[in-house]
Structure 1
Amino acid sequence: MIYITRRERFCAAHKLHREEWSAQKNEAVFGYCSNPNWHGHNYELYVTVKGEVNPETGFVIDLKIMKSIINTYVIDKLDHKNINLDVDFMQGKMASTEVIAIEIFHQLKPHFEQHNVLLHSVRLHETENNSVEYFGN
């Protein structure tokens, strides 16, 4: 078994808030991340797949296919968007980095399986100091 990781980048805005909470409670829990005017990040996404090397091609998956899957099902939907308002797979969900990573994993998993590779993990860097990694369930 071998693992391959591809990095992609996207810029997006979001805010952390709960509609049923007051502005004061949202600010107390989420701080400046609850800014009613949103805030943005330059995200870095690392997608790792695993599988066996095809003896004919020497690939686990053609990296052009991997790039296409990530861009079609994730980057094109997130880049320069408001995660809370514009992204179909985030509707009704908390736009925390943790939840975004989980939902990205769920978006990508079936498309890699169609190419006989397994999605191993999604690592999402929100800032240079903060990242999350999800391995599925």
Structure 2
Amino acid sequence: MSNTKNDPVDPFAGIDLDRFKTEQGKKKTSLRKPQPDKEAIKAVAEQNDFQSRQAAPKKKKIITKTFSLFQDECNIINDVLRAYLNNPDEGLSQPSGSDIVRAALHIFAEKNSQEQVKLIKEHRGRGRK
């Protein structure tokens, strides 16, 4: 057998631990709060003609309206969407049903008032003709 002792080994035996207890190596922080540079603020204010940041405008509340469409009107929208799918435009993303209704409203608005009234009478909802 060997004469090696099984005494515990101190891993910190060769290190001066008092060196780590000192304040050396720590950043010294100031106890005072940082103060703004008033001269820089004044220069920027003069450069911008003393205009402050404008408040954001209030958003308008948008009230969505729903409309009822009958099956034949829905079929018109679906037919237009199918026609687009058969001949798509690469510069335009696929339109939605709302896009088709908006386009129809713009065409309707271009008509004179007599034609508008005539169309309303022709295509009025159930039981109201």
Question: TM-score when scaled to structure 1?
Answer: 0.21
Q: Which has the larger radius of gyration?
A: 2
- Larger RCO (CA within 8 A; separation ≥ 6): 1
